[in-house]
Structure 1
Amino acid sequence: MVRYILMVLGGAVSFGILSSFVKLAYQHGYNTAQISFLQALIGAIVLWVVFVISKKPAAHRKQIPMLLMTGATIGIATFLYYLSVEFIPASLAIVILMQFTWIGMLIEWVLFKKKPSYSELLIAAVILFGTCMASGISFTDGASLPLKGILIVLAASLVYAIYIVANSRIGRDICWQNKSAWIMTGAATAIWMMNLQSISYHLLMEIDLLRWCIFLAFFGTILPPILFAIGIPKVGATVSSLLMTIELPVAALSAHFILGEAITELQLTGIAIMLIAIMTMNFIRSARQKKETMTVY
């Protein structure tokens, strides 16, 4: 069991370090479109190879459009998240991105009439309170931060929440190898279509850019899906959700140690509050799902 727990943790840690290395790639002269597209493309190619080797059954052709659309959402979310760190600190970007936890709850409420409990609404408020602390923004320095960057990462959080809701409802009967390959194909296609004019195709073949994107693809679009696919079924969805919250402190600490971004005790306290609130929300959701399942049977 310890091995599978470490797999889930490893996948979450991989996600957590991405924004810091994306920001380093920016320092080498590359832009968001090039990095996000090439990362998704490399990930899609590798995942298709994994699927072919696995010899698992393929998805039905009627399922493919929805899988591609699901992939488009994670592609757009990734692009927007990477774009936001051009304007704001990586440690702030991840804190705002984590708002997908309660945004997803609202989406399910509006679209699927899955009304949240009072405790879930309270926890959502606590997450927002923790976000204010973890952001490290005061009334005096908040105005100096580009509003553009904050709005971009808020949009990324919204689209990421849509991806999670869609991914949880679409293609449940499809093997993870094929599902991941189609989703990443949709992600690469969406990023390409959004940046037709800004992607320099001759630059995509630069060895240095390829090195950066192979690294980012490995830790962002190849390793986590494989680790999650193996580890989550063994550990369980509830425990996995709790383990995956490690992405938040890992991203903040990576930004501190790799990029030299300042992190205060107030921010650490805010991160801790957010983690506790997110874990509590996952416990409540799991308990409600079990209760609904027992009622059905």
Structure 2
Amino acid sequence: MKQNWIYSLLVVIAASSYGILSTIVKVAMQHGYTSAEAVTSQYVFGFLLALILFVLTQRTLPKLTKKGVVTLILAGICTAVTGIVYGQSLNYLPASLAVVMLFQFTWIGLFMDCFIKRRLPSRLEMISLAFLIAGTILAAGILDVDLSQIAWQGWALGLSAAFTFAAFLQFNARPVEGVTTIGRTFILSIVALIIVSIFLSPEIVWNGQLAGGLWKFGLALGLFGIIFPILLFSIAAPKVGGALVSILSAMELPVAITVSVIVLKESLTLIQVGGIILVLFGMVLPSYFTSKKLNI
């Protein structure tokens, strides 16, 4: 029972590290960099840090089965596409609404898990999901946003980011034989860097921007966007399961809002505080009933 709580906590920490990313990107943009340049630097440094860890601990590539290779490649593609698509959605959506769209991964991930395991969602999962969705809407502060002027591309990109992030969580919840967590992180970082380099701004590596100051943001983004979450998800997700991982990962929203208030001096209303409380309640609910072995 104690170990289950530890694995759940690791998932929460991994999701929390994702919540820091949007603020780091915004600070980078305040320093004159584009979101594409910031996101690219994230995957460049994520790969470099993963390479250093891999060389220091292993040095030899693991022997993988065909199924393991497919799982890792798909997980790497999903994490890269999430970063790309979510960044593009910010060109059409207010930041608050973009967060809400991304957080559709909670119900998408739950239903993905149900489809994969050929089961129906439990009553507890549905109750938890209701709290998460209600809390997300309140916490993001979109009640006063005019939605009529938003282009369809924004909705499509936001929902796509939610889908790919949910898929990433599902793939990362699958154990892969013969590969350590550091080896898994290294392989995912290679795949993600290749995908990002095709679609975003690989020129930052040779045009002097990376060395000229972008490296500070890339290092932070690489740590909190690649190393910490992938390592922790790789350890904990197979133990927790895809459905609960999707629910616990909702911690990203309260963290994103809290960090933006502290660093960017954004406003925080009582309604948003109430939304954060609902999100936290929705996260804790399934873990609490599981630990007490209660049915609902």
TM-score, length of structure 1 as denominator length: 0.78
Q: Take 2:144 and 2:233, find their aligned partners in 1: how far apart are those partners?
A: 40
Equivalent position of 1:217 in the other structure: 222
Equivalent position of 1:294 in the other structure: none
Asked if structure 1 preserves the Cα contact closer than 8 Å seen for 2:138 and 2:272, the reply is yes
Q: CA deviation at 1:124?
A: 2.3
Count of residue pairs brought into register by the alignment: 281
Letter in 1 for 2:56: I
Equivalent position of 1:45 in the other structure: 48
Q: CA deviation at 1:174?
A: 1.9
Q: Deviations over 1:101-146 (max 9, x none)?
A: 2211111223441321233233323322223322322366344566
Q: Structure 1 pair 119/65, CA: closer, same or farther in 2 (3 Å)?
A: closer
Q: Structure 1 pair 286/60, CA: closer, same or farther in 2 (3 Å)?
A: farther
Q: Take 1:243 and 1:11, find their aligned partners in 2: how far apart are those partners?
A: 10
Q: Are 1:264 and 2:269 an aligned pair? A: yes
Which residue of 175, 181, 199 maps to 2:180?
175
Q: Take 2:226 and 2:75, find their aligned partners in 1: how far apart are those partners?
A: 15
SS at match of 2:111: helix
Equivalent position of 2:62 in the other structure: 58
Asked if structure 2 preserves the Cα contact closer than 8 Å seen for 1:84 and 1:152, the reply is yes
Equivalent position of 1:101 in the other structure: 106
Q: CA deviation at 1:224?
A: 3.9
Q: Structure 1 pair 140/29, CA: closer, same or farther in 2 (3 Å)?
A: closer
Equivalent position of 1:253 in the other structure: 258
> 1:18-167 maps to which residues of 2 (within 5 A)?
18-55=21-58, 58-60=62-64, 62=66, 63-138=68-143, 141-143=146-148, 148-167=153-172
Q: Structure 1 pair 10/31, CA: closer, same or farther in 2 (3 Å)?
A: same
Q: Take 1:16 and 1:46, find their aligned partners in 2: how far apart are those partners?
A: 20
Q: Take 1:268 and 1:95, find their aligned partners in 2: how far apart are those partners?
A: 15
Q: CA deviation at 1:159?
A: 0.6
Asked if structure 2 preserves the Cα contact closer than 8 Å seen for 1:13 and 1:247, the reply is yes
Letter in 2 for 1:121: M
Equivalent position of 2:194 in the other structure: 189
Q: Take 2:161 and 2:103, find their aligned partners in 1: how far apart are those partners?
A: 10
Q: Take 2:168 and 2:288, find their aligned partners in 1: how far apart are those partners?
A: 21
Q: CA deviation at 1:184?
A: 1.4
Q: Take 1:286 and 1:166, find their aligned partners in 2: how far apart are those partners?
A: 25
Q: Take 2:155 and 2:129, find their aligned partners in 1: how far apart are those partners?
A: 19
Q: Structure 1 pair 275/179, CA: closer, same or farther in 2 (3 Å)?
A: same
Q: Take 1:52 and 1:243, find their aligned partners in 2: how far apart are those partners?
A: 32
Equivalent position of 1:295 in the other structure: none
Q: Take 1:189 and 1:285, find their aligned partners in 2: how far apart are those partners?
A: 40
Worse-matched range after superposition: 9-18 or 111-120: 9-18
Worse-matched range after superposition: 157-166 or 34-43: 34-43
Q: Take 2:14 and 2:112, find their aligned partners in 1: how far apart are those partners?
A: 26
Structure 2 runs not aligned, ≥5 long: none
Q: Structure 1 pair 16/205, CA: closer, same or farther in 2 (3 Å)?
A: closer
Asked if structure 1 preserves the Cα contact closer than 8 Å seen for 2:136 and 2:279, the reply is yes
Q: Deviations over 1:146-201 (max 9, x none)?
A: 66445433221111000111111251552101011111111111212233xx5435
Q: Deviations over 1:64-95 (max 9, x none)?
A: 34312211101111222333345545454434
Q: Structure 1 pair 212/140, CA: closer, same or farther in 2 (3 Å)?
A: closer
Equivalent position of 1:275 in the other structure: 280
Asked if structure 1 preserves the Cα contact closer than 8 Å seen for 2:86 and 2:157, the reply is yes
TM-score, length of structure 2 as denominator length: 0.78
Asked if structure 2 preserves the Cα contact closer than 8 Å seen for 1:23 and 1:85, the reply is no
